[in-house]
A and B are shown apart, each in its own frame.
Chain A
Amino acid sequence: MKRTDFTENFKDILDEPELVEIKENTEFKDLDEWDSLTNLTLIAMVDSEYNVKLNSDDINNSKTILDLMNLIKFKE
């Protein structure tokens, strides 16, 4: 997985991606837009783009974008 691809895909789940900078060390749950729908959309995006099924615990246990990337790589 290319790092830039994942950050781009992550931006895709946001309604206003132009308002934030998404980097590997971004703590995504601190984003203003983060809520239960973004959570669901992240799960659906990862399923659709990487064919990986994340669950709520996976997301609860992840802090940064890099954590998510590592998790997806692990589950791929």
Chain B
Amino acid sequence: MNAFDIKGKKILITGTTSGIGMEMSKHFNGSGAQLNLLGRSFDKLSKLRLELDELNYFKLIKGDLNEDLEAIASEIENIDGIVFNAGVVAYQPLKFLKEEDFLKLFHTNYFSSIFLLKKLIKLRKINKGASIVFISSLSASIGIEGTLAYSASKASIDSSIKILASELSRQKIRVNSIAPGIIETPLLDNAVFNKEKRKLEESKYPLGLGCSNDVVYSAQFLLSEASRWITGSVLELNGGYKLK
């Protein structure tokens, strides 16, 4: 057996209807994993369905983790892996940081994942030896202006995986995060990323900007047996951003 294979593993992915989550869903489906795919929009989930190979098992689950946590948890099947990918980006410098927006972002990017995980653990839906992967961000460990809420939510993830990795190690459940720098997706927020800004940012990455598959392949590695001795780690994907 190939240690990097995820064929037959039952994996839950959140935030599957756009960007990295969508690419991940398609790739894992093609790799023969059995997927539970969570998204907020019925229309977008229906579009995702068209992109997937029906010969490989998958289950689409519609719901908003901020509102329907109980219902979502009950629909999720027993799983060998999770990728907590759902999240939003916001740019609000301290001076105009809105408390309501800050709390909402933290709910979406952090609390909802933690409470879903808690629920799944209590319901005993996470199999022994499972691997849990959170999508964090390079911004958690540097100081990008205007990203206080977003970066703090991601830093919370990077800190939490260590505690979760300790607590869940008795069940041989591993917990890690992936912290990518800028990934080129159609969703790159144009409020901040016009062409000039993109060029400027790109120049900070010795290997250029990342693509969705950079994250997808790392997540596959962390879900596979090849990473069986890795837990409580932040895997940084940043094209050399921190070398300078």
Q: What residues of chain A have their CB less than 8 Å away from a CB belonging to chain B?
A: 12-13, 36-37, 40-41, 43-45, 47-48, 53-57, 60
Contact = CB atoms under 8 A, between A and B. Distances in A.
Interface in B37-96: 91-93, 95-96
Given A36-B145, A56-B197, A44 B91 contact: yes
B191 interface: yes
B194 A57 contact: yes
B146 interface: yes
Contacts, number: 48
Dominant SS among interface residues on chain B: loop
B146 A44 contact: yes
Interface string B80-114: 00000000000111011110000000000000000
29 contacts: A13-B96, A36-B145, A36-B197, A37-B93, A37-B145, A40-B93, A40-B146, A40-B192, A41-B95, A41-B96, A43-B91, A43-B192, A44-B91, A44-B92, A44-B95, A44-B96, A44-B97, A44-B146, A45-B96, A47-B96, A48-B96, A48-B98, A55-B190, A55-B191, A56-B190, A56-B191, A56-B197, A57-B190, A57-B194
Contacts of B190: 55-57
B93 A60 contact: no
A40 B194 contact: no
